[in-house]
Structure 1
């Protein structure tokens, strides 16, 4: 059975809510760091999300792939921008990154209404 990035991000969101309730200081600190790091500056918010996705792919983190692809779609990423980023991920990370680049395409296709579905 294929994994669903909608299920992964939904399940992780519930678990993150538990962490917010039980270790609020840690989670507030992480949220502040994330919010401040992702603010547009010299790099756009979209550029920063593409970098975050690339690191998630390199780390082989399903949750990172799901959450950052969702954020990229909210920011208006084009399929071409996503694919170019995935090409760099594959170049830098070899075969394992290629497998997670394919997962990022699956996440994009799953979250993007009307997206071209991959042949796999």
Structure 2
């Protein structure tokens, strides 16, 4: 498996390099993160559990790394994280089902035209 701390350090170094090249880009991203952190409707732990499910759906190791650490700091248990990941698995399976139906629709439309 991955050395998640070393990976975090690599990502942080790359982001610092991007920031040196285009500080406005990284500042804008940080602004999104800070705006989300000010939510008064969802607590920090819930937001981090959602972020983990989204990170899995997007297949973003950097996001998984950051949001796993944040979820732990927010008090999320392993069981809560597994439940959030279960939602990601369910939604991704549903998305695969929907896109499979679209594929059959494309097949039917294309094969009818031949």
Question: Whole-Å Cα distance in 2 between the matches of residues 5 and 39 of structure 1?
Answer: 27
Rg (Cα) greater in structure: 2
TM-score for both structures, normalised by structure 2:
0.74
State how far apart, in whole Å, the 1-side matches of 2:92 and 2:63 are: 16
Give the equivalent residue in structure 2 for 1:45: 44
Higher relative contact order (CA 8 A, sep 6+): 1
Work out whether residues 39 and 45 of structure 1, in 8 Å CA contact, stay in contact via their aligned partners in 2.
no
Question: So what's the TM-score if we normalise by structure 1?
Answer: 0.71
User: For residue 61 of structure 1, what is the aligned residue in structure 2?
Assistant: 60
CA distance in 1, matches of 2:39, 2:80: 17
Q: 1:67 Cα deviation (Å)?
A: 0.8
Q: 2:4 — aligned with what?
A: 5
For 2:3 and 2:89, the matched residues in 1 are separated by 22
For residues 19 and 75 of structure 2, the distance between their equivalents in structure 1, rounded to whole angstroms, comes to: 29
Structure 2, unaligned runs of 5 or more:
94-114
Count how many residue pairs are aligned between Structure 1 and Structure 2: 93
Per-residue Cα deviation, 1:12-41 (whole angstroms, up to 9, x for no partner):
011111112221111111101111112241
Matches within 5 A, 1:12-91: 12-91=11-90
